[in-house]
Amino acid sequence: MGPHPMLYSSLDLGPLQVVNRFAVPAMVTRLSSDDGYVNEDVIERYRRFSEGGAGLIVVEASSVHGGRSGPLLKASSDEFIPGLSELAAAIHEAGAAKAVVQIIHFLKVARSGWRQLVSDLDVDGLEALPALFAAAARRVEQAGFDGVEIHMAHAYTLSSMLSRRNKRRDHYGRTLENRLRLPSAVVDAVKAAVGPEFAVGVRFDAEECIRRGYSVAEASQFASRFAEQGVAYISLSAGGKFEDAIHREGKPLYPYTGFSGDRCMPGDSYPDAANIWMAETVRRNIRDRGFTTPILGAGKIPTADLAESLLQRGACDLIGMARGLLADPFLPVKVAAGRTDEVVECIYCNVCKSLDENFKTVVCYLWPKGATHAPRPDEPRAETGWFESESSLRAIAGVGDIRLRWEAAEGDVAGYDILRSEDDQPFERFTSCSRTAQLDDSVLADRTYRYMVVPYDGSGRRGTPTPPAEAAVETGQI
């Protein structure tokens, strides 16, 4: 057993067994065109996740209906089955990953900022949804996938039904049981439509992160209902709502532009594992009620070490690493091979998020320029080392903060890890960035901070660290 025994241990998700706890949560790639078919680039994206060693791959949100959506995969009619079959086969051939497809229903949005609400739908429209989801799930099963994940998170139809802001006046709104009625009916319909070996998971927000939205107490009620219905796993996300989205002139509302959007894809200013407390609370609540359904937690979990410690403390059962595995899909195999210092660590710059927002192909800022896919670990790469090997890092105390500056390293540098030590404690990763300067505004006065900076290239290979640089902010400087 290596240093990450739980992370690399298998787990049953209902009928499925995954070989490890790494999960790629659904991530829209914008690699398909508006027609919604799988193409070679889509296949290549997922093939690399599988080669890279993730145990579970959730293929991006794929629509159960024919609505216009820009570039998004579809599972809305039988014509999509051949493409989905090729995708399932490619994932299974490339590695041991189990693959499920996230299936989604969404309402209409317009460039004016208008959007359709769940309260605009008539009862017949709502009651047509379980059959739409069930038919899509059956197609995914026919295509050879291992399961589906019903998308009930963020800004989409089923999430808006669960929302505390669902003000429908009939038996589909306001009370918790009414809000659960349609999502529960979808779970039942999907489970009835597929065979017992096919996994049915759900994803919903553990907290909406909007005013008058629900939080972990209600999410725990939802989770225990879905557990009772026999879902294979529960994936917990956060936020991503229309209610606080910022409308940009001439563009449809994008639900990740407000505070709830920040919470959904926490950027570089958020702490690591920013949302894990939510998954941990829901997990504890349903365990207390006797349910053993595995829980997937996500939100800025960048490293195997952190992932292992979250599993060890029982915060979740599966580690959702979306942007981390986009930056480097090979993280699981690299860490397993003891090549952790070759991992291209996500800097949470959210360039991927803004590409998604603008319907552009989602790529990672850290990949080599112009690349559509992450480089494989064995692809040739340039040497990475320091331009000036001595004293190239300076740490300057300011008014309550410490400014770091360093000379650019030579070679094909993708980013820099910044390591920090407080008062002679061991160095720990503080953050990663792509510039040659960083402000540390999270220091306490009258303590000594030491820093080192380590460059890495597009394949994640680390160069020589700088010699340490030291600074302290005195009380008088605050």
Ligand X SMILES: Cc1cc2nc3c(=O)[nH]c(=O)nc-3n(C[C@H](O)[C@H](O)[C@H](O)COP(=O)(O)O)c2cc1C
- Our separate counts of H helices and E strands in the chain read 13, 20
Residue 66 φ/ψ, nearest 5 degrees: -90, 10
Residue number with CB closer to ligand X (194 or 265): 265
SS3 152: strand
Residue 92's DSSP bridge partners are none
| CA torsion angle 121 124 126 132 (round to 10) | -130
Helices within 229-322 (DSSP H only): 259-264, 276-288, 304-312
Q: Which residues bind ligand X (CB under 6 A)?
A: 25-28, 60-61, 102, 151, 153, 203, 237, 264-265, 298-301, 320-324, 352-353, 356, 362
Residue number with CB closer to ligand X (299 or 455): 299
CB of 205 to ligand X, least distance (A): 10
CB of 401 to ligand X, least distance (A): 26
Rounded distance, CA 165 to CA 435, Å?
41
CB of 245 to ligand X, least distance (A): 15
CB of 271 to ligand X, least distance (A): 12
Residue number with CB closer to ligand X (270 or 291): 270
**Buried b vs exposed e over 368-400: b needs ≥16 C-beta within 10 Å?**
eeeeeebbebeeebeebebeeeeebbebebeee
CB of 201 to ligand X, least distance (A): 11
Sheet hosting strand 413-422, strand order edge to edge: 428-433, 413-422, 448-457, 469-472
CB of 123 to ligand X, least distance (A): 27
Residue 353 φ/ψ, nearest 5 degrees: -65, -40
Residue number with CB closer to ligand X (168 or 203): 203
Residue 326 φ/ψ, nearest 5 degrees: -70, -45
SS3 43: helix
| CA torsion angle 245 247 251 252 (round to 10) | 40
Rounded distance, CA 332 to CA 338, Å?
10
CB of 27 to ligand X, least distance (A): 4
Rounded distance, CA 348 to CA 270, Å?
9
Residue number with CB closer to ligand X (28 or 31): 28
Residue number with CB closer to ligand X (80 or 386): 80
CB of 304 to ligand X, least distance (A): 13
Angle at 246 between CA 243 and CA 252, to 5 degrees: 90
Q: Assess contact for 275 and 255: CB atoms under 8 A.
A: no
Q: Assess contact for 413 and 456: CB atoms under 8 A.
A: yes
Residue number with CB closer to ligand X (88 or 443): 88
Residue number with CB closer to ligand X (262 or 440): 262
Rounded distance, CA 91 to CA 24, Å?
13
CB of 238 to ligand X, least distance (A): 8
Residue number with CB closer to ligand X (330 or 386): 330
